[in-house]
């Protein structure tokens, strides 16, 4: 969108919020217009390129986490299997159908092998694509409120927002959902502001896409409904057209719930006793999570949670010994830095509400046309739309997070108060923050606050690319592959520490590293590790017994040539899991040939990490018979596919 607009007579007028004085003849010099246009387009495409870079760079670095693994299982089979896997889940089919079509396009039209299609860097491309587009759409949305310079600032905040970047690099539907919410909001305001016949059809299509991506979009339709009712200026067909649009969305929702998911019986009622009730274990609504909600949406981290509580330790299976070594695993300095950034951000949000031009006695000296005044008034009025954007979903999330025994509860369990569910509010916070920065008193204060917050957001966003934040399998398996021989897959054994989700993610990630095709199973079953010729593996608790039994088994199993231990608590170098202790159990035929340490950071919520170590032992002995036998495979090894229950 050009930085200037034209009125109905074709003359140029200042954009909403521009306060620059007109030239003496009432028309800006041509060279000035060209320079402004050049600056605008350079800034626009530079910001877009930055946002795309942050979403696509090292896209496959993180391994699939448990929900992504379930999504992978759904889209790797037939379309019928995909639809069947959504029964009783409450998920609309739009995003999963798009991922399935993406895989089919790569396989049938570009003739890419199945093994390469289902690696993270390829399967995550649609999410990163929609995440990249949210920046220019954010500019379109911001232009409904303010001038092009401020809109470019808000576009930059969309591009570097760490929360949006994180979910753009995730296989779930949330990145695309946030894009459709932003697009729907922009088209909604364009439709109500303009008279182009095309705005309403585009709005209706975007609303349907939003609902078919995630049913949480109904909360945003409620915001728009309240705005339509509260508007003082209405055109005759606005409300009937709006009702017709949400009526179509309602029919689609009812059709899917009634004939495919049985939403209430299959999700809400069933999960009262289990299923999504796990949310209550670590994300209950409290003062910290309420106050930290804008911090997550804007800066990408929860209001400080340090040191980790017993509940958090239980959730991640860290054990009580974790706190004994917190000095090497915690980051209190980072907590203090992020707390300071949170305080600055909240101060900017609050200070932006003050009318500094009036407080300072500054009066507008330039004259503006009636059309410009009307446009600015409309822009100011639309800020109530942003207020509803934050208020209505926040109220619903709050009431939905109350215990079932509470008389104000609207949902049977703690399920709503999760950052990714509340992500549809992030765009409202971004609009508020960008607007507040431009309203601070003094150019020095504006530039300082803007640069500081942009640096914090960019640094937080880069953690998506540079450190281990998902399940640590990718960081383990990439190193293990240097010692793996596909023709002798039974001669290697890998023992992993159990993480917070003991799914077969380790095996699935191994398949991604090897680029092997996934077997199509109905629903969300997973491939058998032996059938697909990947190394045998075990997920072990952080207790000495199972690890020592693996070492003893390796000593007696003369056909085993490579043993890998990928264990947590690698900063503990003494005791039964130390290298010296394992060497004694393995005997003189085994030699340690590789050792590497890395840290797994627990999402952005917390300020601690667990130190992992990868140790590889090779049997150095005369050539043995090719047959593998002698010792019985340990009971810990995964030898058959097991059905998993998906989680949101």
Q: What percentage of residues in the chain have a pLDDT greater than 70?
A: 77
For 602-616, what is each residue's pLDDT tens digit? Answer: 866 678 899 999 999
pTM across the whole model: 0.86
Length of the chain: 648
Task: Supply the pLDDT for residue 153.
Answer: 96
pLDDT single digits (tens) 267-286:
555 555 554 555 555 566 67
Average pLDDT, the chain: 81
587 pLDDT band, cuts 50/70/90, is very high
CA atoms lying within 13 Å on the CB side of residue 489? 14
pLDDT at 11 over 70: no
Query: Is the model more confident about 483 or about 607?
Result: 483
Percent of the chain with pLDDT over 90: 44
Distance between CA atoms of residues 256 and 260, nearest Å: 5
DSSP characters over 547-577: HHHHHHHHHH-TT--EEEEEES-TT--SSTT
Strands 609-619, 562-567: pairing is antiparallel
Q: What pLDDT sits at residue 410?
A: 78
Question: For residue range 181-239, what is the model confidence (pLDDT) as tens digits?
Answer: 999 999 999 998 876 778 999 999 999 999 999 989 999 999 999 998 887 666 778 88
Q: Do residues 32 and 131 make contact, with C-beta atoms less than 8 angstroms apart?
A: no
237 vs 359, higher pLDDT:
237
- For 370-397, write each residue's pLDDT tens digit: 544 444 444 556 788 999 999 999 888 8
- Which ranges in 316-364 belong to alpha helices (H)? 321-324, 332-351, 356-359
CA distance 286 to 417: 10
Please tell me the distance from the alpha carbon of residue 648 to that of residue 171, in angstroms, as a whole number: 12
The residue ranges of every structural domain in the chain are: 27-56+124-466, 473-619
Which residue in this structure is represented by tokens 């339509």? 228
> Regarding predicted confidence, which is higher, 12 or 348?
348
The pLDDT value recorded for residue 309 is 80
């Amino acid at each position: 969108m050009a930085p200037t607009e034209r009125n109905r007579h074709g003359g140029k007028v200042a954009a909403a919020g521009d306060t620059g004085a007109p030239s003496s003849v009432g028309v800006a010099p041509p060279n000035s217009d060209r320079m402004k246009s050049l600056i605008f387009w350079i800034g626009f495409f530079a910001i877009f390129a930055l946002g795309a870079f942050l979403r696509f760079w090292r896209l496959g670095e993180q391994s699939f986490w448990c929900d992504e693994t379930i999504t992978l299982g759904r889209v790797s089979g037939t379309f019928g299997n995909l639809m069947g896997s959504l029964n009783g889940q409450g998920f609309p089919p739009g995003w999963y159908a798009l991922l399935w079509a993406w895989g089919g396009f790569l396989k049938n039209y570009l003739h890419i092998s199945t093994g390469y299609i289902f690696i993270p860097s390829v399967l995550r491309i649609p999410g990163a694509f929609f995440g990249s587009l949210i920046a220019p759409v954010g500019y379109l949305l911001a232009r409904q409120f303010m001038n092009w310079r401020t809109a470019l600032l808000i576009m930059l905040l969309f591009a570097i927002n760490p929360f949006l970047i994180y979910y753009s690099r995730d296989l779930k539907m949330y990145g695309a959902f946030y894009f459709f919410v932003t697009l729907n909001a922009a088209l909604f305001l364009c439709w109500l502001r303009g008279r182009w016949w095309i705005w309403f059809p585009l709005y209706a299509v975007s609303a349907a896409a939003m609902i078919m991506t995630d049913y949480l979009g109904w909360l945003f339709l409620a915001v728009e409904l309240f705005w339509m009712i509260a508007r003082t200026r209405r055109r005759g067909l606005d409300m009937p057209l709006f009702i017709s649009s949400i009526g179509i969305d309602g029919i689609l929702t009812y059709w899917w719930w009634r004939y495919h998911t049985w939403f209430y019986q299959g999700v809400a009622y069933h999960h009262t006793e289990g299923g999504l009730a796990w949310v209550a274990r670590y994300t209950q609504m409290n003062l910290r999570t309420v106050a930290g909600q804008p911090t997550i949406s804007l800066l990408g981290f929860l209001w400080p949670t340090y040191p980790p509580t017993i509940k958090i330790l239980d959730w991640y299976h860290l054990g009580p010994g974790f706190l004994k070594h917190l000095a090497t695993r915690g980051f209190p300095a980072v907590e203090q830095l992020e707390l300071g950034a949170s305080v600055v951000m909240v101060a900017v949000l609050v200070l932006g509400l003050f009318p500094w031009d009036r407080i300072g006695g500054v009066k507008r000296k330039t004259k503006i046309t009636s059309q410009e005044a009307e446009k600015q008034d409309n822009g100011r009025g639309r800020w109530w739309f942003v207020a509803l954007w934050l208020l209505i979903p926040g109220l619903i999330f709050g009431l939905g997070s109350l215990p079932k025994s509470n008389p104000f509860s609207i949902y049977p369990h703690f399920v709503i108060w999760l950052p990714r569910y509340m992500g549809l509010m992030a765009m409202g916070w971004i609009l508020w923050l960008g607007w507040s920065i431009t309203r601070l008193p003094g150019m020095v204060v504006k530039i300082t606050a803007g640069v500081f917050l942009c640096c914090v957001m960019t640094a937080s966003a880069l953690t998506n690319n540079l450190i281990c934040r998902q399940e640590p399998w990718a960081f383990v398996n990439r190193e293990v592959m240097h010692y793996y021989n596909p023709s002798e897959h039974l001669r290697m054994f890998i023992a992993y520490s159990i993480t917070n989700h003991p799914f077969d993610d380790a095996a699935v990630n191994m398949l991604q590293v090897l680029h092997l095709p996934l077997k199509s199973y109905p629903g969300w079953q997973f491939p058998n590790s032996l059938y697909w010729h990947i190394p045998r593996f075990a997920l072990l608790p952080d207790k000495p017994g199972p690890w020592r039994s693996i070492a003893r088994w390796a000593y007696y199993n003369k056909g085993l040539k490579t043993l890998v231990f990928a264990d947590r608590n690698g900063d503990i170098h003494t005791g039964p899991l130390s290298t010296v202790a394992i060497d004694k159990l393995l005997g003189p035929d085994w030699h340690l040939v590789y050792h590497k340490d890395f840290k797994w950071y627990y999402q952005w919520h917390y300020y601690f990490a667990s130190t992992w170590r990868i140790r590889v032992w090779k049997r150095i002995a005369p050539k043995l018979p090719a047959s593998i036998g002698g010792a019985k495979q340990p009971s810990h090894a995964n030898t058959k596919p097991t059905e998993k229950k998906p989680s949101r």
